Amino acid sequence: MSTMYIRQEQYDSDYNFKSTADGNYVFYQSFTPRSEVYLNSVSFLMKRSSAVTGNISFTVHISDTVNNDDQGAALETSSTYNASNLTTSYQLVTFTFAGTTLLTKDSRYVFKCDNAHTANDIIVAFSSQNDYADGILQYTLDPMSGYEPYYDSVTATYNGADFYFVVEFTGSDNTNAIKIIKRNHSNVFRKAYIKRRDATTGQFEASWVEITKDVKKWGSVNVNTDVDRVGRISFSGTNLVMQNIEGRYNPNSNTYSLWYGYSSQQRSLLKIECAFYDQYQSSGVWVNEIIPAEPTIFVGIVSGAIRVSDENEITLPVKPLNQVFRDYLVTDLTGFTAAGPGTTGTAANFIQMLRDQTVGGSYLFRPFFNDTTSYWQITQTSSLTYPALTGTADNLRDMTVWDVIEKLAEAENYLPYITRTGVFKWIPKTEGSTISYEFNGLGVVPNTEYGHTIKKIEAYGEKISDYYNRVSVSYLSAGASAYVATQSTFAISGSNDVWNLGRRSYFVDNDFIGSSSNAASIANTLLTELSSLTPEINFSTSLITHINLLDKVYISYDASDFTSINGYWDAADWDDFFTWDAGRGDAIVLTEQPFKIISININLDTLETRFVARQLDS
């Protein structure tokens, strides 16, 4: 838990007060946290003028940034304090909160006290934006004392520091991650676990079995989207090199094997955790706080040849969870109707059908996704339907479930994303609405919040191979192939992309689409997505595990020789400063440039993360 001592120069805060209809006065104290935090308590200096009774409590609200009063309902109400315990001298009164209300970085909030009291009663020391040099202001809630705040001679300290009021908080998981990533010497751990299947029921065991001590080499895990086609997401697992001196990784028929008495090693679940841990003592006991709190970075299945040798080591091939969809033919699914998949024939319906698919009363895919529906986050798709997507259609022969998922993702401009914790997400490919992380590198004024995290920028520039100015969609109309196309206008002009870059056509072959209007809709969506020539950046960082695909991030990097115009000469014009302009050349200069993360690779042996991100409009 951390303590925020509210000072004007560090945390925007302001008091406010106003009369209410009941004739009492409301006390407001606003503040702005500079990082994402959970609220634990707030303490004010309080006293009374004369005997008072009743309870006092505070509520916390989003604050109006002009008047510093409450906007909307209370986010939470504090514990209560019996006002009769106040004396005529100031004392620190603490109001506690549950520690579950998340306050976002740089948003203004306000504590509000609206307890009805009557004559000459409660006085609260408080701050304003004008009084910092003059000490603590106070204002009485009693209307008889007048409306205007006045200065008080109170000088309060708390843990050795002057304060106006004290907010105690716990950093959110995101805040803690930001802090520990920038730490220049930190502790990191890696762990690996398996879950085996019962030899009789074929169901996974309840608990994970740790195998960390046998891992000799970890490899890397990778996830990226739009690899070679729109909507195509690729995951790669890893190859764990294990010591096998005791024969623990022998086939399940071997009595020394970890799988002895269980079903085959193949399709066993495998989980990898990799995170930071912060060590500190609390009440005489060492605490090892894991950051991020959820350390899982990969869940997959064992899939591939496992061969033993006389070198007492084996390679455990691990594939991502989408392999379970590759291992099943779509024609073996049940639940298709005349409208297509499920009841309405939409793409989301198909994903729901997968989630609920059973064979002999047992779920088919769900056990691989924590055996719960909460690990399937399905965003409803548009009204597009896929009537030709039926279990018996000729065009489905030999197609795996994953093949179909990819085709639907391409058509919908969606992402079939399996998160690092093994949650299946069917989501639009839009980036996050807020900045989730800021990367800083060479030439950037030291960033005290995020630190310096970029090791190297490997490539930056427009990716022409991802640019298309024509999209044609082939579909099935009454059993016959048909197609629609849409394209950007061609003109011989210096500003015409088709003239400048040539005609580049993207072809979608999707027999599930049953109407020209649907095909046209898909073509238009894709053309909008693809016809913008956008820069991409490839860069590496020290270990960062909590970023997800589609997260919106800032990147700041300045590889130019001069980062300031305060040089020695002015190359462009003989201005009165006679200074050089910044020497930019072909260097990469990015200043809080927003990007969307489209590829993440975490190397567990070198503890390095490599990202690919697509530039967004500033």
Partner 1 sequence: MEFLSENYVNTTTQFLVNDGTATVSNIFNPNFRFQFASANFANDLTTVTMRINFDETMTIDRIAICEHNLKDFTLFYNGATANTFVLTNTGDTIASSYSSNSATAHFFRTTQIYATSVSIDMKKTITANQNKAIGYLAISKKRTDFNNRNPSAQGYQLKRNPMQIKHVMSNGGVRLQTLEDKYESNISFEYLTEAVKNELKEIYDNHEEIIFCPFGTTTGWDSVIFPCVWSGDFNFFNYSDNASDAGFSGSINLLETP
Q: How far is the CB of 171 from partner 1 (least distance, A)?
A: 20
Q: Is 53 in the site for partner 1 (CB under 8 A)?
A: no
Residue 309 near partner 1 by CB under 8 A: no
Tell me which of 456, 464, 491, 591 binds partner 1, using CB under 8 A: 456
Q: Is 397 exposed, middle or buried (0-12, 13-18, 19+ CB in 10 A)?
A: exposed
**Shortest Å distance, C-beta 538 to partner 1:** 13
Q: Which residues contact 437 (CB under 8 A, 6 or more apart)?
A: 178, 450, 544, 547, 551, 553, 554
Number of neighbouring beta carbons within 10 Å of residue 334 = 10
Nearer Cβ to partner 1, position 134 or 210?
210
| Nearer residue to partner 1 within complex by CB, 16 or 609 | 609
Stretch binding partner 1 (CB under 8 A), from 52-60, 100-108, 420-428, 605-613: 605-613
């060479």: which residue's tokens?
442
Interface with partner 1 in residues 207-226 (CB under 8 A)? 213
> What are 336's two structure tokens?
């298709």
Does 191 bind partner 1 (CB under 8 A)? Our answer is no
CB nearer to partner 1: pick between 75 and 589: 589
User: According to the 3-state scheme, what is the secondary structure of 469-520?
Assistant: CEEEEEEEECCEEEEEEEECCCCCCCCCHHHHHCCCEEEEECCCCCCHHHHH
Determine which residue in the list 19, 107, 130, 288 makes contact with partner 1, applying CB under 8 A: 288
Counted residue by residue, the chain has a size of 618
443 binds partner 1 (CB under 8 A): yes
Question: What is the distance between the alpha carbons of residues 359 and 271, in angstroms, rounded to a whole number?
Answer: 26
Residue number with CB closer to partner 1 (32 or 296): 296
Q: Min. distance of Cβ 460 from partner 1 in angstroms?
A: 13
Q: Please report whether residue 589 would count as binding partner 1 according to CB under 8 A.
A: no
Which CB, 278 or 327, lies closer to partner 1? 278
312 counts as binding partner 1 under rule CB under 8 A: no
Q: In this structure, how many other beta carbons lie within 10 angstroms of the beta carbon of residue 14? A: 21
Q: Which is nearer to partner 1, 75 or 559 (CB)?
A: 559
Q: Residue 207 or residue 253: which is nearer to partner 1 going by CB?
A: 207
What would the 3-class secondary structure string for 323-382 be?
A: HHHHCCEHHHCCCEECCEECCCCCHHHHHHHHHCCEECCEECCHHHHCCCHHHEEECCCC
Strand partners, 594: 554
Q: Is residue 591 within the footprint of partner 1 (CB under 8 A)?
A: no
Near partner 1 by CB under 8 A: residue from 56, 401, 543, 590: 543
- In the list 457, 508, 537, 602, the residue contacting partner 1 (rule: CB under 8 A) is 457
283 belongs to the binding site for partner 1 (CB under 8 A) = yes
| Beta carbon of residue 159, minimum distance to partner 1 (angstroms, whole number) | 20
Site for partner 1 in 149-188 (CB under 8 A): 184-188
Q: According to CB under 8 A, which one of 189, 507, 577, 578 is a site residue for partner 1?
A: 189
Residue 278 in contact with partner 1, rule: CB under 8 A: no
Tokens 């115009």 map to which residue? 565
CB of 616 to partner 1, least distance (A): 22
Residue from 16, 542, 545, 593 in contact with partner 1 (CB under 8 A): 542
Per CB under 8 A, which region of 64-72, 145-153, 407-415, 603-611 contacts partner 1? 603-611
Could you tell me which residues come within 8 angstroms of residue 105 by beta carbon, excluding any fewer than 6 positions away? 33, 34, 35, 36, 175
CB of 288 to partner 1, least distance (A): 6
> CA nearest 300: which of 334, 343, 267, 276?
267
Stretch that binds partner 1, among 403-411, 413-421, 436-444, 492-500 (CB under 8 A): 436-444
Binding status of residue 455 toward partner 1 by CB under 8 A: yes
Q: How many residues bind partner 1 (CB under 8 A)?
A: 29
Q: Is 247 near partner 1 (CB under 8 A)?
A: no
Indicate whether 245 belongs to the interface with partner 1 (CB under 8 A): no
Say how many C-beta atoms besides its own lie within 10 A of residue 43's C-beta.
18
Which two tokens mark 209? 């079995």
Query: Quick one: 52 or 454, whose CB is closer to partner 1?
Result: 454
Residue 247 phi/psi, 5-degree rounding, is: 75, 20
- Nearest approach in angstroms of CB 237 to partner 1 is 21
Residue 369 corresponds to which amino acid?
Answer: F
Give the 3-state secondary structure of 512-549: CCCCHHHHHHHHHHHHHHHCCCCEEEEEEEECCCCCCC
Nearest to 538 by CA among 617, 464, 455: 455
Please spell the DSSP secondary structure of 76-118, one letter per residue. Answer: EE---EEGGG--SS-EEEEEE--S-PEEPTT--EEEEE-----
Please, which residue, 283 or 465, has the CB nearer to partner 1?
A: 283
For the segment 465-524, give every residue that binds partner 1 (CB under 8 A).
Answer: none
564 binds partner 1 (CB under 8 A): no
Which of 232, 452, 463, 584 binds partner 1 (CB under 8 A)? It is 452
Which region, judged by CB under 8 A, interacts with partner 1, from 7-15, 42-50, 332-340, 455-463?
Answer: 455-463
Distances (CA, A) of 123 to 56, 69, 146, 490, 503: 12, 19, 12, 73, 74
- Residues near partner 1 (CB under 8 A): 184-190, 213, 279, 283-286, 288, 441-443, 452-457, 542-543, 557, 606-608
